[in-house]
Chain A
Amino acid sequence: MISRRSFLAGATAAGAALGLGACASSPASGPNVVSYWGLGAADKDKDDQVIAAFKKTDAGKNAEIYVDQVPSSGVADMSQIITAVRGGSAPDLWMMDRFNAVQNASIGLLESIDDLIEKYEDVSPEEFKSQWIQFSIDELSYEGKLYGLPTTTDARGLLYNEDVLKDAGVDLDLFDWKNHVITWDELSDACEKIVKIDKRGNYERFGFAPWLSEGWPYTWGFGLDAQAYDNAASTVTLDSPQWESVYQLYADWAEKYPYASVDAFFATYQPPNAPPSQTAMFSGHLGIDTTGPWQISANEKYAPKLPLKFTYLPVAREGDSTYTWSGGGSLVVPTGANMTKTLWEFMKFYAGLEGQSIVVPQFGNLPTNLKAITQKKYNPKAELFRTMLPNSTCRPPLPVGSAMWDALTSTKSSVALGSSTPGQAVKTNQARIGPKMELFEGFKMPDTYGKPSPVPGS
């Protein structure tokens, strides 16, 4: 019979073996080792292609790149990375939504890459940064320091199904972006023609609603000159008349097309968590939607025969300037990373001409690297969005970015549902975000924020 001493010794040894086994999967750090949290399981092949190309270069031939595709429970959910950094198991490199850069930098989650530029580059930081489109650099800058390199970008526009519009008797010339920018009134008239209602009162075919898809408050805010932050006064300005007009747009549209009915229509033809092939647009039930160039790859894959085209976002009056905004990804270095030359070379390769040339066309969106833009390393169908880039901008790079986004989007549904007036909505937003931003007294966004981002040859 086993003695108590032997039993305890055995149990301790088994526990220690399990513990050591659990630690054994972590790659050993070294000058050529890079641990990387990638694009996500669905896009693993794109990471693999870039890594394979990098290993063929002189800088990458000895590199050992260990990729983890860590799932996230939400765009702004930082629980995994915070836990990894605090637990000492953070990656050296992380593919992150660029929008979160300033917030993450402000809490000390990211390393500035200024030292890497200074150490390994022969050019000045300003000259180095000029390889990428300005708004993407602005979005990665916090208190004068750069916190990552931009990878992909996008822009917002309208997607329409020509078959649906033709069937409804809508003049297609209104949507031809080369000759005309559609106005809100023209869009409203087109929607009236498109809508079909069945005998029970359900929408069978629907035109457009500004709160759907990419119809975020920011989307229309950029067209109505609604500024979220006054850089000169360092104050939040979410209660301005311009913001109220953004919410008035939702209210006016919801008066015509009740939120509950539109919602029932969408839950029918495009329920939450539906596969990407199941959309109201692909099934011919939706005429117009707000989206971006990433939609191109889905269109090609799931509805190659449908005549789906893009145009500019609607403007108030004919002749008004077009507007849009851009998001995208970035490569950042979490705090405590092993900052080696190999890491830097891989980062530059991925965010540079070579890496973006591999990844961007497959995503259907646009490059941030100016050479990749001028050499047209993107899907030709994204040309409209490419023309938008010089006048595009990013969302305000603020340390309370996630909370601001959350406030703006939650009041969007309140106004569309009619439980809040536009005036109440903007007051709520200001009350939520103003005090949070007061903690960053005197904060300034980059001087270049909101100004045009020149693209050579445009």
Chain B
Amino acid sequence: MSVTDTVGPPAGPASAVSAGVQTAAPPTRRSRGLNAGQRRKLRTGLLFISPWIIGVLVFIIYPVVYSIALSFTRYSGMEAPTWVGIQNYVTAFTDPLVGKAASNTLFYAIIAVPLGLIISLVLAIAMNQNVREVAWYRTIFYAPSLIPAFAMSFIFIVFLNPQFGVFNRVLNLFGGANVNLLGDPTGVKIAIILMAQLGAGNAALIFLAGLRNIPKTIYEAARVDGASPLRQFFSITFPLLSPVLLFNLITGISGSLQVFTEAFIVTNGTGDPDNGALFYMMYLYKNAFGFAELGYASALAVILFLVGLALALLVYWLSRRFVNYDVEAG
């Protein structure tokens, strides 16, 4: 049995467009057609959401536009910006540390994002079990996500300590010499990837909401047809969770491109050893606030924004092949 056999074809974009065509009024008529009461309601509505509108304009749109403008200048944060054209972008593509920071970030994203999705999905399934103590389990599984990243970093520093840390104790049981994972360029990245997994509870909650949205009748029908739990997972749960998976994938990629706090604390802001934990955001931060090169840092931010946007669009485009909106379509 497959999902499409039981719930039929999805209501795709085509049907939505056609529905819009049938009901849409000419735009000029719509804006002018409000009566006094509707206009008052519109004003009230706008007034209520005005903090959000102002917040987006002041704290998101303006900084983004300003940052794009700064990226074409040399600017220290103090004196007036000096126009340098695309010089900052040329420098970014020849700066050896940009390549290093980008490859570190890519390494992190390639491992941390899929690993995070798997762990959060497993957590969500565990949180969704029909047992009496489920509320306790949910609290326990979610609790690590409440620990601030900086506190988590210190916990990991102790956890990986060569003398006292649990990691080296286990290693010693097998006769191994003490190692300092945080002192190795690859080890420190792996440590930060593992650290990030303790925040999987947030994505797990979103998966849990998706899981609870899947009609039980589908599972009942599958059981009647003799489908095993594994078959049910791959033929029902996974396809119907795909919109949630897509959401978590895009937010996971976005988050991984901006990894900063853990690396900053673990390496005391240096990115060492051997720039092994110099992630893109950290290098950007160093340029902005350590070297007072806000123009160059803005160019790095614009490049990151474009890469993030391109990746999100790529994932969204690829998602057409695997995302199933049957549950949302009802």
A residues touching B (Cβ–Cβ < 8 Å)?
A: 73-74, 76-79, 82, 85-86, 103-104, 106-109, 200-202, 259-261, 263-269, 271-273, 335, 400, 402-403, 406, 409-410, 413-414, 417, 419-420, 428, 431-432, 435-436, 439
Tell me which of B112-120, B122-130, B172-180, B216-224 binds A: B172-180
- Which of B74, B154, B179, B288 contacts A264, CB < 8 Å? B179
Taking a contact as CB atoms under 8 Å apart, the answer to whether B97 and A432 are in contact is yes
Extra contacts besides A106-B76, A202-B177 (12): CB < 8 Å: A86-B78, A107-B76, A108-B79, A200-B172, A263-B184, A267-B161, A402-B291, A402-B292, A406-B286, A413-B273, A417-B274, A428-B96
Taking a contact as CB atoms under 8 Å apart, the answer to whether A260 and B78 are in contact is no
1/0 per position for B160-180, CB-CB distance to A under 8 A?
011100000000100111111
A50, B271: Cα distance in complex, Å: 38
Q: Tell me if B289 counts as interface (CB < 8 A to partner A).
A: yes
- Which of A85, A108, A269, A417 contacts B163, CB < 8 Å? A269
Q: A107-B292, A271-B157 are in contact. Are A82 and B162 (CB under 8 A)?
A: no
A107, B288: Cα distance in complex, Å: 13
Q: Tell me if B268 counts as interface (CB < 8 A to partner A).
A: yes
Taking a contact as CB atoms under 8 Å apart, the answer to whether A272 and B292 are in contact is no
Interface size on B, residues (CB 8 A): 42
Q: Tell me if B330 counts as interface (CB < 8 A to partner A).
A: no
Taking a contact as CB atoms under 8 Å apart, the answer to whether A85 and B271 are in contact is no
A428, B98: Cα distance in complex, Å: 13
Taking a contact as CB atoms under 8 Å apart, the answer to whether B77 and A202 are in contact is no
Taking a contact as CB atoms under 8 Å apart, the answer to whether B154 and A273 are in contact is yes
Q: A103-B292, A202-B178 are in contact. Are A272 and B268 (CB under 8 A)?
A: yes
Q: Describe B's contact surface by its main secondary structure.
A: loop
Residues on B with beta carbons closer than 8 Å to the beta carbon of A266? 180
Q: A82-B77, A269-B163 are in contact. Are A200 and B271 (CB under 8 A)?
A: no
Instruction: Report the minimal beta-carbon distance from A385 to chain B, rounded to whole angstroms.
Output: 26
Q: Describe A's contact surface by its main secondary structure.
A: helix
Taking a contact as CB atoms under 8 Å apart, the answer to whether B177 and A73 are in contact is no
Taking a contact as CB atoms under 8 Å apart, the answer to whether A264 and B183 are in contact is yes
Could you give 25 example pairs across A and B, Cβ below 8 Å?
A: A74-B269, A76-B291, A77-B289, A78-B290, A79-B288, A106-B76, A107-B79, A107-B292, A108-B79, A200-B175, A202-B162, A259-B183, A261-B177, A263-B183, A264-B178, A264-B180, A267-B161, A267-B183, A268-B180, A269-B163, A406-B291, A413-B275, A417-B274, A419-B185, A432-B95
A71, B216: Cα distance in complex, Å: 55
> Looking across the interface, which residue of chain A has its beta carbon closest to that of B78?
A108
Residues on A with beta carbons closer than 8 Å to the beta carbon of B175? 200
Q: A200-B176, A432-B97 are in contact. Are A335 and B271 (CB under 8 A)?
A: no
Residues on B with beta carbons closer than 8 Å to the beta carbon of A82? 77-78, 289, 292
Taking a contact as CB atoms under 8 Å apart, the answer to whether A76 and B290 are in contact is yes
Taking a contact as CB atoms under 8 Å apart, the answer to whether B292 and A78 are in contact is yes
- Which of A76, A271, A400, A410 contacts B161, CB < 8 Å? A271
Taking a contact as CB atoms under 8 Å apart, the answer to whether A410 and B177 are in contact is no
Taking a contact as CB atoms under 8 Å apart, the answer to whether A413 and B272 are in contact is yes
Taking a contact as CB atoms under 8 Å apart, the answer to whether A86 and B77 are in contact is yes
> Looking across the interface, which residue of chain A has its beta carbon closest to that of B182?
A267
Taking a contact as CB atoms under 8 Å apart, the answer to whether A264 and B78 are in contact is no
- Which of B79, B91, B157, B286 contacts A273, CB < 8 Å? B157
A85, B292: Cα distance in complex, Å: 14
Q: Tell me if B145 counts as interface (CB < 8 A to partner A).
A: no
Residues on B with beta carbons closer than 8 Å to the beta carbon of A431? 96
Residues on B with beta carbons closer than 8 Å to the beta carbon of A409? 270, 272
A419, B289: Cα distance in complex, Å: 28
A104, B162: Cα distance in complex, Å: 40
A260, B182: Cα distance in complex, Å: 10
> Looking across the interface, which residue of chain A has its beta carbon closest to that of B292?
A107
A419, B184: Cα distance in complex, Å: 11
A260, B291: Cα distance in complex, Å: 30
Instruction: Report the minimal beta-carbon distance from B35 to chain A, rounded to whole angstroms.
Output: 21
Q: A202-B178, A439-B74 are in contact. Are A413 and B274 (CB under 8 A)?
A: yes
Instruction: Report the minimal beta-carbon distance from A73 to chain B, rounded to whole angstroms.
Output: 7
Residues on B with beta carbons closer than 8 Å to the beta carbon of A267? 161-163, 180, 182-183
Taking a contact as CB atoms under 8 Å apart, the answer to whether B78 and A107 are in contact is yes
- Which of A104, A260, A406 contacts B183, CB < 8 Å? A260
A200, B162: Cα distance in complex, Å: 12
1/0 per position for B111-154, CB-CB distance to A under 8 A?
00000000000000000000000000000000000000000001
Taking a contact as CB atoms under 8 Å apart, the answer to whether A200 and B74 are in contact is no
Taking a contact as CB atoms under 8 Å apart, the answer to whether A268 and B162 are in contact is yes
> Looking across the interface, which residue of chain B has its beta carbon closest to that of A334?
B78
Residues on B with beta carbons closer than 8 Å to the beta carbon of A76? 290-291
A356, B163: Cα distance in complex, Å: 42
Taking a contact as CB atoms under 8 Å apart, the answer to whether B274 and A432 are in contact is no
> Looking across the interface, which residue of chain B has its beta carbon closest to that of A83?
B77
Taking a contact as CB atoms under 8 Å apart, the answer to whether A406 and B157 are in contact is no
Within 8 A of A (CB), among B270-295: 270-275, 278, 286, 288-293
Taking a contact as CB atoms under 8 Å apart, the answer to whether A260 and B91 are in contact is no
Residues on A with beta carbons closer than 8 Å to the beta carbon of B96? 428, 431-432
Residues on A with beta carbons closer than 8 Å to the beta carbon of B178? 200, 202, 264, 268
1/0 per position for B70-93, CB-CB distance to A under 8 A?
000010111100000000000100
> Looking across the interface, which residue of chain A has its beta carbon closest to that of B287?
A403
A410, B290: Cα distance in complex, Å: 14
Taking a contact as CB atoms under 8 Å apart, the answer to whether B179 and A417 are in contact is no
Taking a contact as CB atoms under 8 Å apart, the answer to whether B289 and A108 are in contact is no
Taking a contact as CB atoms under 8 Å apart, the answer to whether A335 and B78 are in contact is yes
Taking a contact as CB atoms under 8 Å apart, the answer to whether B292 and A73 are in contact is no
> Looking across the interface, which residue of chain B has its beta carbon closest to that of A431?
B96
